[in-house]
Chains A and B, each alone.
Chain A
Amino acid sequence: MFNSLQEIFSTLKQNKLRAIMTGFSVAWGIFMLILLLGSGNGLQNGMENNFRGTAKNALWIWSRQTQVAHDGLQAGRRIQFTDEDYDLLVNHFDDDISDISGRFRLWGTGTVTYKNEYGDYDLEGIMPEFKNIQIVDIEQGRYINDLDIQQFRKVAIISVPVKKALFKEEDPIGKYIHIDKVPFMVVGTFINPERRDDEQIYIPVKTAQRVFNGSNKLNELAVATNALTVAENKRVEEAIRTTLMKKHRIAPDDKQALGIWNTLEHFKQAQGVFTGIRIFVWVIGIMTIIAGIVGVSNIMIILVKERTKEIGIRKAIGATPWSVIRLVLSESVFITTLSGFFGLVAGMGLMAAVAMVLQNVAQSNPGIESTFYNPSANVSVAVSALVVLIVAGLIAGYVPARRASGIKPIEALHDE
């Protein structure tokens, strides 16, 4: 092994510039591949960041007006969810649903005030299970819990932007904010990873219904299913849709009355898109590398031609065809692997630098994290690139090596 390495060096030293130029094409190919793969990863990470705040198998259910007259009822009827729908789903889909929460939105309820600070915020009544569907990071205190619901407690949790607006540097836990002049005690603060800037306040759904004249109305239902596959999630979605349609006497062909957003389906779709992108990137990358391979192969063929006499001498003094093949192949693999390694390191370095810059940018502009995030090429990418390189080297060396091994010593040694 060491022996052959020395052989490689002694010949490569002959043509330093040529070896470097040849290597550059391969290094460039790998550099581009890493760049493309890293960017692909960055886009995908950004997309997944987008979904991070939601249970992947969540169903978001909302109601609209009917479009089709049905069962003696006219079209244009407004469908209103109530606690009954919630109970219906809980009873019917016990096996399929892991978490369910009714949502009661408060529109136009007026201003939220604390001392002299005030503002209009996104207000919503939710259930404790909601934290498993719309995932938020608790920064301080706690989430809404079952006792809050049962006892109709007037408590609230607020998002960090709300905290900053109302409380400035003050500790909000245990303080009272006034929602439409009704005092609510702040029991927690949270960060919504999907929308860090949103000014949101969550209160217990029962309290919301009671305080703000909602009786038993619900605006939306949020469900996290037990489904693992898109098909399963789709089945649950359809079952829920049918059940609710029957209860609300909606025509089976009415596509408008109920809206259900199937997160898993869309997540998988987005993932599919990124799988496509990744395949595309690999194809482009491999193409670029092929250009490099052809370059290496070309140079090696010239090299073999120039070294015909030397190879003839080697054969005359006892070099086997296999050892000649090895001589050429190992040179080719050496050039491609070494230069490819430089390209790999350069590409990874650039990716790491970009990731660092992005992190800095993201601190002032969090939105960027949902489009492009952590664009690193990981270890598996590096390993596959390495495999590609070695294979590339072998392919590049194959034709010239076969030529070299076919050299006949008598012809090679023939005096001009």
Chain B
Amino acid sequence: MSKSIIKVDGLHKSYRMGNNALHVLKGIDLDIKAGEMVSIMGSSGSGKSTLLNILGILDNHDRGDYYLDNVKIERMNETKAARYRNNYIGFIFQSFNLISFKNAMENVALPLYYKNVSRKKRNMQALEYLDRLGLKEWANHLPSELSGGQKQRIAIARALISNPKVILADEPTGALDTQTSYEVMEILQEVNQMGITVIIVTHEDDIAHRTQRIIRLRDGLIERNEMNGKYQPVTTSEIFTTN
């Protein structure tokens, strides 16, 4: 058995809403191995986004333990959290979250800016990733000039450029049509085959069924955690053959 990349024990999280506390996560136990492709499902309000935020160190948990790559993640200052995010985690969002006034290449290169990579070097790497995702010709276009699928591919390239151990995708296909959604999922599967752990939050069954494991949340607890028997990994990696 390969080692755990994400290990969570008895995770609790509540939000203060005026006078009442909203208990969102009520004791989550989770163990995700390196190289897995997992989806987290649940209706809205089930706590799946909160869980993802905590896993991405964008938010702190109240109780319980969280180990990322065997490092215990506790309440830490923002600088340290930023460094962990930069080194371990790549984010993909439903609304892409590209910076509107930067072109595709600059968007992809941005994480390297925070790693103090020189401009020339990071732009070169960004071009390389764009090339792999078939977007090289679009390198100098602004996000507003691209389609949803293209934007999400740029976001994937941005998530990949810092060589993360884990990709956290929050409804990555939520804003895309079915055809494009499947394309994006294919890319994510290929990313997964590079050895990167991929965790996808979704509420679409057909998206979830393209992952190895499906974790269902309900009211802040894990309702079911099952291996996906129907999982069919992509056999030919067209994009990342060089890796």
Name the one of A2, A11, A316, A415 contacting B94, with C-beta atoms under 8 angstroms.
Answer: A415
Decide if A216 is an interface residue (CB 8 Å cutoff).
no
Decide if B79 is an interface residue (CB 8 Å cutoff).
yes
Is B58 in contact with A410, judged by CB distance below 8 angstroms? yes
Bound complex: CA of A2 vs CA of B118, how far in Å? 10
Decide if B66 is an interface residue (CB 8 Å cutoff).
no
Decide if A409 is an interface residue (CB 8 Å cutoff).
yes
Contacts of B83 in A (CB 8 A): 318, 320
Question: A414 to chain B: closest CB distance in Å?
Answer: 9
Decide if B23 is an interface residue (CB 8 Å cutoff).
no
Name the one of B87, B90, B93 contacting A413, with C-beta atoms under 8 angstroms.
Answer: B93
Contacts of A319 in B (CB 8 A): 82, 114
Is A410 in contact with B110, judged by CB distance below 8 angstroms? no
Closest-by-CB residue of B relative to A4 is B113
Is A316 in contact with B95, judged by CB distance below 8 angstroms? no
Question: B60 to chain A: closest CB distance in Å?
Answer: 11
Name the one of B78, B99, B111 contacting A321, with C-beta atoms under 8 angstroms.
Answer: B78
Interface residues of B in 13-29 (CB under 8 A from A): none
Closest-by-CB residue of B relative to A415 is B95
Of the listed residues A322, A323, A413, the one surrounded by the most CB atoms of chain B closer than 10 A to its CB is A413
Is A318 in contact with B82, judged by CB distance below 8 angstroms? yes
Closest-by-CB residue of A relative to B118 is A3
Question: B177 to chain A: closest CB distance in Å?
Answer: 18
Bound complex: CA of A316 vs CA of B169, how far in Å? 12
Interface residues of B in 58-94 (CB under 8 A from A): 58-59, 78-79, 82-83, 85-87, 90-91, 93-94
Decide if A217 is an interface residue (CB 8 Å cutoff).
no
Decide if B53 is an interface residue (CB 8 Å cutoff).
yes
Contacts of A323 in B (CB 8 A): 82, 114
Decide if B115 is an interface residue (CB 8 Å cutoff).
yes
Bound complex: CA of A2 vs CA of B119, how far in Å? 9
Would you give the 0/1 interface string for B43-58, flagging 1 where the beta carbon is closer than 8 Å to chain A?
Answer: 0000000000100101
Is A6 in contact with B85, judged by CB distance below 8 angstroms? no
Contacts of B101 in A (CB 8 A): 10-11, 13-14
Bound complex: CA of A309 vs CA of B97, how far in Å? 8
Decide if A84 is an interface residue (CB 8 Å cutoff).
no
Would you give the 0/1 interface string for B172-185, flagging 1 where the beta carbon is closer than 8 Å to chain A?
Answer: 00000000000000
Is B59 in contact with A413, judged by CB distance below 8 angstroms? no
Name the one of B85, B87, B106, B119 contacting A316, with C-beta atoms under 8 angstroms.
Answer: B85
Decide if A139 is an interface residue (CB 8 Å cutoff).
no
Question: B17 to chain A: closest CB distance in Å?
Answer: 14
Contacts of B94 in A (CB 8 A): 415
Decide if A315 is an interface residue (CB 8 Å cutoff).
yes
Is B79 in contact with A318, judged by CB distance below 8 angstroms? no
Decide if B193 is an interface residue (CB 8 Å cutoff).
no
Contacts of B78 in A (CB 8 A): 315, 320-321, 405
Of the listed residues B82, B87, B95, the one surrounded by the most CB atoms of chain A closer than 10 A to its CB is B82
Closest-by-CB residue of B relative to A13 is B101
Question: B127 to chain A: closest CB distance in Å?
Answer: 17
Contacts of B56 in A (CB 8 A): 316
Question: A326 to chain B: closest CB distance in Å?
Answer: 11
Bound complex: CA of A408 vs CA of B15, how far in Å? 14
Question: B44 to chain A: closest CB distance in Å?
Answer: 12
Is A10 in contact with B85, judged by CB distance below 8 angstroms? no
Decide if B162 is an interface residue (CB 8 Å cutoff).
yes
Bound complex: CA of A13 vs CA of B142, how far in Å? 14
Decide if B102 is an interface residue (CB 8 Å cutoff).
yes
Is B111 in contact with A409, judged by CB distance below 8 angstroms? no
Question: B68 to chain A: closest CB distance in Å?
Answer: 15
Is A318 in contact with B119, judged by CB distance below 8 angstroms? no
Decide if A313 is an interface residue (CB 8 Å cutoff).
yes
Is A317 in contact with B79, judged by CB distance below 8 angstroms? no
* Listed A/B pairs (17) with beta-carbon separation below 8 Å: A6-B119, A14-B101, A313-B97, A313-B98, A315-B78, A317-B85, A317-B91, A317-B110, A317-B162, A318-B82, A319-B114, A320-B78, A320-B83, A321-B79, A323-B114, A409-B58, A413-B97
A-B pairs with lowest CB-CB distance, top 8: A318-B86, A318-B114, A320-B82, A320-B79, A317-B111, A321-B78, A313-B97, A409-B58
Known: A313-B98, A316-B56, A317-B90. 11 other contacts (CB 8 A): A3-B113, A310-B99, A312-B97, A317-B85, A317-B111, A317-B158, A318-B114, A318-B162, A320-B82, A409-B58, A410-B53
**Chain A interface residues (CB < 8 Å from chain B):** 2-3, 6-7, 10-11, 13-14, 309-310, 312-323, 405, 408-410, 413, 415
